[in-house]
Amino acid sequence: MDDELLIKNGTLIDPAQGIHARKDVAFANGRVSAISDDIPTSEAREVLDASGCFVTPGLIDLHVHVFYGVSHFGIEPDPTCLARGATTVVDAGSAGADTFPGFRKYVIDVSDTRILAQLNISSQGMLTQEIGELENPDYADVGKACRMIEQHRDLLLGVKVRLTRESIVGARAGMLPLHRAREAADAAGLPIMVHPQDAWCESIDDILALMGERDILTHCFHDMPCGILDENGNIRDAVHAAIERGVIFDVGHGAGSFSWDVVQKAMAQGVEPTTISSDLHIYNVNGPVYDLVNVVNKFLYLGMSIDAALAKVTSIPAETILMPGQVGTLAVDAWGDAVVFELREGECQLVDARGEVRTSKQTLAPISVVKGGQVYRQHHTHG
């Protein structure tokens, strides 16, 4: 059988299979067809030489905003996600029950990037910068959310709620949206994803009390009120308890939700993120986030091993979205999504959401992206 594509001579890092070794990977019919120490080039129509490079599964970004043209946060997914190595992404609540069908028809169904979504408990979703989606609590409509989930179960992974006071949630709504999101998710048998910073509550303890296994707390290293550290800089007891219960602590870097100070204090106390995500959107795509790989590079700078960091953007999010063995791995018969990375030596400036700069000595840079067993070439990428 002819393979459509063969990646030769690279060092395969596939945390799902526990592989970190020189391997060749072949693709046919959109899937991984073989992994071996040496696959003859004569068997493939196209050969990608990955000598001196790392080969990884396509990355999974659990938090992006790609409802381009409708949500004020939206960016086009293919040049910003797929072309930069994130072959599977989850849109975190850009659309609600009133807008999700359009998101599906005009973005999800026509993009090369594989897009799944969290449904915003606000039926309008994240439309405009001027008015928060939960300024009026009536937008948090449980029935509407549940009906939309039933119609799009193949794409909707859970219910998203943003809790920031004033700019998103009005005083009249308070913590009601969190309870509505929990109610809708429970009715649908799905988890919730919570954006916790500066909520209408005493502390993050009040939010975590409603969260259990597979629920996602995103923006876990923000430095605003309702954070994971207490006033003395220690990890709160409620955070340790939530980790024990299986709550997923997700990075969600964003434009304002990643502090070097918070992440270093947390990691020094043994608390790492469960998953690494970008929260990529129009206000951070030109810095400080740029793309998911840039966020991974921040954790490499912080001393995380390349295998551990890549697990948090491949095998672990694949489990989170209940697609292990399909995405986030290059096991035989998985979807044929891969990235070839160069490890570049040389100083690179890494900036957090507060403008604090750290200088890294080496960084991963994607040089080829494979989606569905074919080299992705549709767009010229920057960098």
Tens digits of residue pLDDT in 90-130: 999 999 999 999 999 999 999 999 999 999 999 999 999 99
Which CATH number is 299's domain given? 3.20.20.140
Residue where a domain stops, chosen among 320, 342, 366 = 320
Q: Is residue 357 part of a domain?
A: yes
Angle value at C-alpha 325, between 321 and 329, nearest 5 degrees: 95
Helix (H) or strand (E) holding 143: helix 142-151
Residue 232 in any domain: the answer is yes
pLDDT value of position 3:
86
- pLDDT tens digits along 150-181: 999 999 999 999 999 989 999 999 999 999 99
Domain assignment present for residue 325? The answer is no
Q: Are residues 49 and 88 in the same domain?
A: no
Q: For residue 59, what are the β-bridge partners? A: 86
Q: Is the pLDDT of residue 207 over 70?
A: yes
Same domain? For 130 and 274 the reply is yes
On whether the CB atoms of residues 77 and 68 are closer than 8 A, the answer is yes
* Position with higher pLDDT, 29 vs 1: 29
pLDDT at residue 381 above 50?
no
Q: What is the pLDDT of residue 28?
A: 97
Task: Pick the last residue of a domain from 278, 299, 320.
Answer: 320
- DSSP letter at 236 equals P
Scanning the structure block, which residue is given the tokens 């929260």?
Answer: 279
Q: Which of 196, 345, 177 minimizes the C-alpha distance to 262?
A: 196
Residue 326, in any domain of the structure: no
Asked if 84 and 189 sit in the same domain, the reply is yes
Residue 180 inside a domain? The answer is yes
Mean predicted confidence (pLDDT) in 33-62: 97
The stretch 6-34 carries a mean pLDDT of 98
End-to-end CA distance of the chain: 37
Question: Would the pLDDT of 383 be above 50?
Answer: no
Q: 93 and 347 in contact (C-beta within 8 Å)?
A: no
Provide the 3-class DSSP secondary structure of residue 187: helix
Q: What is the pLDDT of residue 382?
A: 41
Q: What is the pLDDT of residues 300-346, one digit of tens each?
A: 999 999 999 999 999 999 999 999 999 999 999 999 999 999 999 99
Same-domain status, 355 and 232: no
Q: How much of the chain, in percent, has pLDDT values that exceed 70?
A: 98
Q: Within a domain: residue 382?
A: no
* Residue 380 forms part of a structural domain: no
Q: Look at residue 383 and tell me if it is in a domain.
A: no
Task: Name the domain boundary from 299, 320, 341.
Answer: 320
Is residue 181 domain-shared with residue 315, that is, in the same domain? Answer: yes
pLDDT digits (tens, 9 = 90+) for 124-150: 999 999 999 999 999 999 999 999 999
Expressed as residue numbers, the domain containing 143 is: 58-320
2: confidence class by pLDDT, cuts 50, 70, 90? confident
Q: What is the largest CA-CA distance in the chain?
A: 67
Residue 108 CA neighbour count, 13 Å, CB half: 23
Q: Are residues 41 and 83 in the same domain?
A: no
pLDDT of residue 1: 53
**Domain containing 36 — which CATH number?**
2.30.40.10
Same-domain check for residues 234 and 300: yes
Assign 12 a pLDDT band (cuts: 50, 70, 90).
very high
Shared domain check, 260 and 202? yes
Q: Are residues 212 and 349 in the same domain?
A: no
Same domain as 220, residue 366: no
For residue 17, pLDDT over 60 is answered with yes
Shared-domain flag, residues 281 and 308: yes
User: Which secondary structure element, helix H or strand E, spans residue 196, and what is its range?
Assistant: none
- Same domain assignment for residues 77 and 225: yes
**Tally of domains in the chain:** 2
Q: Which of 78, 35, 80 is nearest to 55 (CA)?
A: 35
How many CA atoms lie less than 13 Å away from 159 in the CB half-sphere?
Answer: 34
Q: Cα separation of 362 and 358, whole Å?
A: 12
Structure confidence by residue, pLDDT tens digits, 232-257: 999 999 999 999 999 999 999 999 99
